[in-house]
Amino acid sequence: MKRWNVDGQVVVITGGARGVGELLARKLAARGAKIALVGLEPEELRRVCASLPTDAAHWHADVTDEVAMVRVAQAVGDRFGRVDVVVGNAGVASGGPFATSQAQAWRRVIEVNLLGGTVTARAFLPLLLRSRGYFLQIASLAAVIPGPMMTAYCASKAGVEAFVHSLRAEVAYRGVRVGVGYLSWTDTDMVRGADAHDLMRDLRRTLPWPMNKTYPLSPAVDRIVDGVERRAFHVYGQWWLRGPQVMRGWLPPLIGPAAAGRVARFASRVEEAEPVGLVGAGGAADERERG
């Protein structure tokens, strides 16, 4: 497959203050890409930009704010003169039983992960049309395999995956490529924040291999970098994720009964579980932003 040299290209990364976004910025910058970071933590974004060995700048914005994101896109275009790649990486997560979930946190996961991805695409699409560029939306294994205690996260990632597939068909004839990235449990603040809740951590440990593992961040980001260089339609952060993708039509009826059995083993703890808000440092930053 053809590869695009990212040296000198302008790459926009949302959620660039930490985790996948930060490391992706570092690895692409090492290949000569110019980096534009967007997120809610200006001090962290400034720290990342200052440490990159390339031309880099950052913008403070909520990816669900359409007016703010249009302004950011215009500012990035003015600053760098073009945009070649946009990675929609910003995301938050919540968890726990749906019946006792915090309605505001549940809704916010949908807003950031699904609507934030669409707002990012809408804001930057004019620049990508101009450069015949690439839009990569980070989704998750949760888009393919439904998981208990993750209703908002699964719904948001399945939704954004469907959006990406639809958008791809709309813009292909204009030379813009659109991809979706899949990650399993990867060592980030978000996953560590989820594991801080005993019920969610213990339930996850009952999943079958290889879904019960937490995978190192760097190899997963290497695969995302490779996907950006190929402008791939599908990017898999862990090697085995191609399997669930191929079998996805069979998975819900197979996994549903097994998942129900696992939840039943924790029935008393599920019924007594306290509501879980947004998890991890990114979730905390989002809550601070909204006051």
Residue with tokens 């978000």: 190
For the segment 31-72, what is each residue's pLDDT rounded down to a tens digit?
999 999 999 999 999 999 999 999 999 999 999 999 999 999
In this structure, what DSSP letter does residue 113 have? I
Q: Catalytic annotation on 153?
A: yes
Active-site residue, from 134, 153, 215, 236: 153
pLDDT of residue 90: 96
pLDDT of residue 256: 62
Residue predicted with more confidence, 104 or 99: 104
Residues with Cβ within 8 Å of 104's Cβ and at least 6 positions away in sequence, in order, are none
The span from the CA of 121 to the CA of 174, in Å, is 15
Element (H, E) at 38: strand 34-39
Largest Cα separation within the chain, whole Å, is 58
What are the two backbone dihedrals, phi and then psi, of residue 248, each rounded to the nearest 5 degrees?
-60, -30
- Residue 139's alpha-carbon distances to 24, 34, 49, 87, 266, in angstroms, are 15, 24, 24, 11, 28
Residues with Cβ within 8 Å of 286's Cβ and at least 6 positions away in sequence, in order, are 40, 92, 108, 112, 278
Residues with Cβ within 8 Å of 246's Cβ and at least 6 positions away in sequence, in order, are none
Instruction: For the chain, give the number of residues.
Output: 291
pLDDT of residue 114: 97
Mean pLDDT of 77-103: 93
Mean pLDDT of 14-31: 97
Element (H, E) at 78: helix 66-80
The answer to whether residue 100 scores a pLDDT higher than 90 is no
